Structure 1
Amino acid sequence: MANLATNSVTRTTLLSALEEKRRHQMKKYLLHRLFFVALLREERQDGEITAYHELLFQKIQKFHLGEPASGILLLYSNCIFHILEASSGTLYHILMDLATFEDEGPQALLQDIKILVMSHNIPTRLFAQWSATKVEVPITIGYDTQVQSTEEVITECLTLVLKMGVYLATLKMNSKGLGDNLHTLVPELLIPAETIKYLCKTKECLSPREFLKMYYDPLQPQMDAETVWPTPAHLAV
């Protein structure tokens, strides 16, 4: 009689399920959109954060040829709001890179990184390319986070940046990108810095490492009954 202790149940993770779905598609790859926020280290050099992301994209494109990332990086004085559009493989490498910041402590360039949402299998890109822009003026137009739930705050933030993406799609940007005048073009569509800092501290949003762990966890959790049956040894006759 076969040893029942050797029997095991193959568990499917959310990541493997999405990859399997992608293999059945006729497209070269599925497109996803990632939104995340972070605080910036107080002592940093000008252009350090932009240089980091440009270097990251260069490294990723070496392994994912033909799968460029698009989106926009909004640089505030002490925080960022980042929207990225890319394949699952590219976003996975970006999330892995973001997770390394959690091990660097106070010296990390990005701190209190929080994933707001990832939209899967979006029909088309909202941004034609990836660009970064500084938001230098204080933003006073916004909403009071004290009287809203985190879900409501995130929903309003996503609404603003999606409207901004639609507006940017109508502009003809040069090879240098957007420039640093977005706050003068559409100040009403920019998220207040206070709201971004609030989202960086909220417990409802996941860190990059927590987000990746969710993808690796089985979709079918182990039941209590599975810990006692089958028995670890043969039953006595």
Structure 2
Amino acid sequence: MEKDVLSSSREASEEDTGTSLYHQRLAHRKQRWPNDEMKFLLHRLVVVSGLPPGLADRQTVGDHYEKFIYSQKRSRAGEDVTGLLLLYPQHALHVIECSTEVLLSVIQDLTHMQKTPDSAVMLTPRVLLVSHDISSRLFQQWSFTLLKDGRLTVNSDEQSCETLVIQTLHQLLRLASHLHTAGENIKECKEIPEEVLQKSQLIPPQTAVCRLVQMEALLSPVQYLDTYHSPLHQLLDSESVWPAAEHSSHSLNDQTQNDG
């Protein structure tokens, strides 16, 4: 009996201190940023997509994610969700900063949209970037904005995929800095006022977002989930043999011909 109690106590102690990579990451962050939120690892997801052609009101997309994030916050107390949803006339760009569980829920929601396009609020979504275990947030809250037609156009056809992705991410970084400076004007405001976004050069142009959506090199949510759930292939010791099977086959054939 005493042995069982000691064993249970030891297991509880190991669970509290943590020996997994997850616990090591948390311990590392606690040392570097002692005042930062420590209940979960923080990740950032950047997604681009098209909007349904027959969408009557783009506000529907903002309302969908506002309800979605509210539901995630209720079910996971203490796990804040921040980010920005840019709604162009025909496309969308979404940045979301959240925990591992919320990140997976967002991807699963996009996967459902990808598989049921008739009822989806976002079409042909592409994962532009996933940053794991980030040190800080770019956005103070989650919000969205409706961008006017014809205000954001630039020729991006001649840019390479890599250049366009990097340029888009740099623009998002500068936009986040601009919104941080204007924080008092948008505090607790789910829809960002138009006057806050007067510097349109900070916003990735719709033509760039359109081209990113068309890039097959970027993973779809379904492809990302398949990769996420796929086990890593580890080479076993039994597979590390010498000579290689192909080399052995050729050697055996050569020896057979010589014997013949």
What number of residue pairs does the alignment pair up?
205
1:170 aligns with 2:173: no
d(CA) in 1 for partners of 2:126 and 2:149?
A: 24
- Match of 2:21, as an amino acid? K
Matched, 1:195 2:217: no
Query: What is the aligned counterpart of 2:71 among 59, 69, 75?
Result: 59
8 Å Cα contact 2:152/2:206 also seen in 1: no
State, as a whole percentage, how many aligned pairs show the same letter. 26
Q: Identify the match of residue 163 of structure 2 among 136, 152, 156.
A: 152
Within 5 A, what are the aligned runs for 1:1-237? 20-24=20-24, 25-26=26-27, 27-46=38-57, 47-140=59-152, 142=154, 144-171=155-182, 172=184, 173-177=186-190, 179-181=192-194, 184-220=197-233
TM-score when normalising by structure 2: 0.73
Comparing 37-46 with 132-141, greater Cα deviation is found at 132-141
Residue type matched to 2:46 in 1? F
1:125-147 CA deviation, whole Å, 9 max, x = no partner?
110000011111424564x4322
For 1:129 and 1:165, the matched residues in 2 are separated by 11
CA RMSD of aligned residues (A): 2.0
1:195-226 deviation digits (Å, cap 9, x = unpaired): 11111111110011111111111222578x87
**Gapped regions of structure 2 (runs ≥ 5):** 1-19, 28-37, 240-260
Runs of 4+ in 1 over 3 A off after TM superposition: 139-142
Contact 1:38 1:111 in 2 (8 A): yes
Q: 1:192 to 1:123 in 2, by over 3 A?
A: same
Q: CA deviation at 1:104?
A: 1.1
Compare the two structures and name the one with the higher helix fraction: 2
Question: Alpha-carbon deviation of 1:175?
Answer: 2.4
Q: Which consecutive residues of structure 1, in runs of 5 or more, have no partner in the other structure?
A: 1-19, 227-237
Q: Which has the higher contact order (CA 8 A, sep 6+)?
A: 1
The offset of 1:184, in angstroms, is 4.6
Deviation at 1:81, TM superposition (A): 0.6
Q: Retained in 2: the 8 A contact 1:32–1:87?
A: yes
Cα distance in 2 for residues equivalent to 1:164 and 1:28: 28
CA 1:43 to 1:137, structure 2 compared with 1: closer, same or farther past 3 Å? closer
